[in-house]
A and B are shown apart, each in its own frame.
Chain A
């Protein structure tokens, strides 16, 4: 199994170190990134958007990869589906991976397609031992096909299933330990789900396997009155920043990423958000270090 952050000697790119606070690569910012080459530690590319070959978008990705470290983040793997793995999708993903050589590939612990229909949304799973085994089998197949560990993200949710018989955090531990995959810890998703289902976000957070966390996600949600909706359309809220600080204390210095997918502001505003994340992260790490700085 290839370790994270390892750059192949065949890599045509000269840097792929993922550290600090990156941002999601969005089409809206392509031109300004190309023209101004802003100081961004790394970008997370939504891999599903680049899987069709010979497109302008894919060319943009090649260009941006020349200047920045990249990770891949997808929705289409549908790791929790009961239909066979989509091998066309995985083949395309592998080809893109070979070309762009991202530091890692992540997707979500949920299902997006079933019975031949693709919802393009992140639908949660019932948390049971049998479902965990099913997911573990599929992650192992994907890792075998891609030839590397993948990174799985906890999703936000608005419903719980009657069939669930374990906590979400136990389910995540079960899946990650048995499949030996990495974890993308979405702190905003923990907060949103904790509010929606009235569980203790701290209990969830501190149950996470710190040694498996490859990346942290932060984003903004909308308060709908009856529930919080994970819209990625707002700045990170104070309660999520507070939870983030606890997360840094728990997992240490891992890369952090700001996601902003709707009502996308100018690039500078997203970079301000990542600078804030870095500031909070460094403050916690400084306190946690043996020398106090």
Chain B
């Protein structure tokens, strides 16, 4: 018996593949067949992961119902088996899975809600940041300054959606004033998710023109625009946006290309 083969057979069968090889390693008896005994482990693995996904995506779970969510997770787990030892890092592929999952095509915002919930996790586990020192920026010559590329703080993420996913999320929180029936779901939003002094905030940045411009500016940075390109795009507003970005610790550092 080769234990490496045995473990490979188990992994294959637990995550939706052929189970005949895995079962062939197991002893059956009068109480449970070898297949049933193997099935206890398959059920246990899927149960553990489904529970973890339910904790990670509680709003998605509430939107589709417990039974549907559990069945959906079974399929997701088979397609995306965990490659990480840390539960906090498992589930990042769920938004992608949902965006093409036939059975939720009537809930077009579900993938974006999953993206919002996952982003909250990423931000939550990101290191806190302090306002960085940008004094070295003034020591660069003109050409070097043109090539500067900024990096956003890791404790914040930007999300854009065609749907009012922020309100949908708030409506599922305890003690909320937001009512599901009042949400105009087909309303595009630009959001910033940020951890600030131990608190996680979701800010809607598409109501006010200044906020919207600032979100677009941060988004341009996230896309890797250099300072020359940012200057072309934002003109006189660039100085204000940069000050706001640096002083608010939204922009963490810079490199010269």
Binding site for B on A (CB under 8 A): 48-49, 51-56, 76, 81-82, 86, 89, 111, 113-121, 123, 125-126, 128, 130-131, 134, 158-163, 226-227, 229
Q: Report 15 cross-chain contacts, Cβ distance below 8 Å, ordered by A residue.
A: A48-B87, A55-B88, A55-B124, A76-B85, A81-B7, A82-B3, A114-B7, A117-B81, A117-B82, A120-B45, A120-B48, A159-B37, A159-B40, A226-B31, A227-B40
Q: Which residues of B contact A82 (CB under 8 A)?
A: 3-4, 7
Q: Is the CB of B14 within 8 A of A119?
A: yes
B52 at the interface (CB under 8 A from A): yes
Residue of A nearest to B12 (CB): A115
CA distance A82 to B6 in the complex (A): 10
Q: Which of B41-95 touch A at CB < 8 Å?
A: 41, 44-45, 48-49, 52, 81-88
Q: Are A120 and B26 in contact (CB under 8 A)?
A: no
Does chain A have a CB within 8 A of B239?
no
- Give chain B residues whose Cβ lies under 8 Å from the Cβ of A54: 125-128
On chain B, the number of residues with a Cβ less than 8 Å from chain A's Cβ atoms is 40
Which of A76, A117, A227 is close to B31, meaning CB atoms less than 8 Å apart?
A: A227
Q: With the chains together, A117 CA to B81 CA distance in Å? A: 6
**Cβ–Cβ contact B44 & A115, under 8 A:** no
Q: For B15, list chain A residues within 8 Å (CB).
A: 117
Q: A111-B7, A119-B11, A123-B10 are in contact. List 5 more A-B contacts (CB 8 A).
A: A55-B125, A119-B82, A121-B41, A134-B3, A159-B34
Report chain B residues within 8 Å CB of A121.
41, 44-45, 48
Q: Tell me, in angstroms, the Cα distance from A81 to B14 when the chains sit together.
A: 16
Q: B107 to chain A: closest CB distance in Å?
A: 28
Nearest CB to that of A78 among chain B residues? B85
A22 CB to nearest chain B CB (Å) = 24
A161 touches B6 (CB 8 A): yes
B11: A residues at CB distance < 8 A? 114-115, 117, 119
Note all chain B residues with C-beta closer than 8 A to A51. Answer: 85-86
- Residue on A with the closest CB to B49? A120
Minimum CB distance partner of B126 in chain A: A54
Contacts of A158 in B (CB 8 A): 32, 37, 40-41
CB-CB under 8 A from A227, the residues of chain B are: 31-32, 40
Kindly state the separation between the CA atoms of A173 and B245 in the bound complex, as whole angstroms: 61
Are A125 and B198 touching (Cβ within 8 A)? no
Q: Known A52-B86, A54-B127, A55-B125; judge A160-B27 contact (CB<8 A).
A: yes
| Residue of B38, B40, B127 with highest tally of chain A CB at under 10 A | B40
Does the CB pair A162–B125 fall under 8 Å? no
Sort A-B residue pairs by CB-CB distance and give the 4 closest, nearest first: A163-B1, A114-B7, A159-B37, A76-B85
B26 and A162 form a contact (CB under 8 A) = yes
Q: Which residues of B contact A52 (CB under 8 A)?
A: 86, 88, 125
B83 to chain A, nearest CB (A): 6
Q: Flag B106-144 by CB within 8 Å of A: 1 or 0 each.
A: 000000000000000000111110000000000000000
Q: Of A111, A113, A126, which is within 8 A of B1 by CB? A: A126
Residues of B close to A134: CB separation below 8 A: 3
Q: Identify the interface centre among B11, B34, B128: most chain A CB within 10 Å of its CB.
A: B11
Contact of B85 among A118, A123, A162 (CB under 8 A): A118
B248 at the interface (CB under 8 A from A): no
Q: How far is the CA of A120 from the CA of B86 in the complex (A)?
A: 9
Interface positions, chain B 147-169, Cβ under 8 Å from A, are: none
Give CA–CA (A70, B85) in the complex, Å.
22
CA distance A140 to B60 in the complex (A): 44
Counting chain B CB atoms within 10 Å of each CB, the highest count among A86, A123, A159 belongs to A159
Complex Cα distance, B14 from A117, in Å, reads: 11
Residue of A nearest to B10 (CB): A123
Taking CB atoms, residues of chain A closer than 8 Å to B14 are 119
**A131 vs B183: C-alpha distance in the bound complex, in angstroms?**
59
Chain B residues within an 8 Å CB radius of A56: 124, 198
Q: Does B25 contact A (CB under 8 A)?
A: yes
Q: Mark B1-34, 1 if CB is under 8 A from A, else 0.
A: 1011011101100110000000001110001101
Residue of A nearest to B155 (CB): A54
* Distance in angstroms between the alpha carbons of A58 and B149 in the assembled complex: 33
Within 8 Å by CB of A163, from B25, B49, B84, B127, lies B25
List chain B residues, Cβ under 8 A from A162.
1, 25-27
